[in-house]
Amino acid sequence: MKIVRTDMELETPFVDQTLREKGHDLVLLPDGVSEKILMKEMEDCEILLMCYTPITKKIIDSAKRLKAIVKYGVGIDAIDIPAANQQGIVVVNIPEYAEETVAEGAFAMLISLAKKLPALQKQMKSNAWVWPSREWLGLDFAEKTLGIIGCGKIGSSMARMAGLGFRAKVIGYDPSKTKEDLAKRGIQKYDDLTEMLKECDFISIHAVLNKKTKHLIGAKEFAVMKENAIIINSARGALIDEMALLDALEKKQIAGAGLDVYSLEPLNNTDHPLKNLYEMDNVILMPHLTFYTEEAMHRLEAETLERITEVMENRPVTIKSKDPRLQNQPQ
């Protein structure tokens, strides 16, 4: 069977070795592969493994033997799912492998910014020591208010770490959850996002990106935040109006930001619209790697192989995601 895996820079050695040992023709393609090259490889491909590469209708229509698209990751926005389903192609992702892992990464960024660790480390490297002047005053986490936007499994893990672990007050905004749902997770529900943001010392975003949530946080929202507020985004870049975030940081409307995701990836410090963030000591920039731990990657590879095996054996493909776009697919 011919299998194409895009985004080869994200190494999956267990998946690659297993497929080759079983005699399959595995073709690896880099991030940024052209649509033309991908379409050529897709002509006789039966399973497509992808992570970031856009899978357009044109690509799908060129794949006459394709049975399944397996996203080895969570987000499915880059896949034209209706086009795939129209051709009888099932689309599946791996939604649960890094829920706790991403929450840990988000919390690590938040606590680092609250304690001013990036700026202090920079000073230590350049000046060897830092004396306790007011510019280096950090913040306690205990008894501060953390606002969580998107209170699913990752947001709930974040709430547990902050509330039970650090004695923070945790409040949340998630229209899909009831007051009772959030209370069970240690989160006080807010129905109005603006009103919640006014209360927050820290904000962590864990929402799903869709038409309703794109630029959920913009200039209006930054304007109501506290000056000492720190915002973390480890979900999807476009949940924030990033130019409004840059403006808020430059004007010191908020105290800091930790980002692992961006609307335009990869980030760079030469011609990217957000390149000025590299110069800010109150900003942590992660290269979309809060998911990337030894344990999480083991889970991801193991489950990816499970989904591939189901396709090969003509069994129904297990869909663990609750995303409506992946429900009621051809099997």
Q: Quote the pLDDT of residue 330.
A: 84
Check residue 185 and give its pLDDT: 97
Whole-number pLDDT of residue 67? 97
pLDDT lower than 50: segments of the chain: none
pLDDT of residue 328: 86
Catalytic, out of 99, 236, 303, 310 = 236
What pTM did the predictor assign?
0.92
pLDDT of residue 331: 79
Q: Is 288 a catalytic residue?
A: yes
Paired with 202 in beta bridges are 146, 230
Residue-wise pLDDT for 149-164, tens only, equals 999 999 999 999 999 9
Q: Are 6 and 53 in contact (CB under 8 A)?
A: yes
Residues whose CB is less than 8 angstroms from the CB of residue 120 and which lie 6 or more positions away in sequence, other chains included: 130, 136
With 0-12 / 13-18 / 19 or more C-beta atoms within 10 angstroms meaning exposed / middle / buried, residue 268 is exposed
Q: Which of 9, 43, 250, 265 is catalytic?
A: 265
Give yes or no: 265 in active site. Answer: yes
Question: How far is residue 194's CA from residue 222's CA, in Å, rounded to a whole number?
Answer: 9
Residue 49 identity: L
Alpha helices in the chain (DSSP H): 13-21, 35-42, 57-62, 81-86, 99-114, 117-127, 153-160, 166, 179-184, 193-199, 219-224, 242-250, 294-312
Q: Which of 24, 160, 288, 299 is catalytic?
A: 288
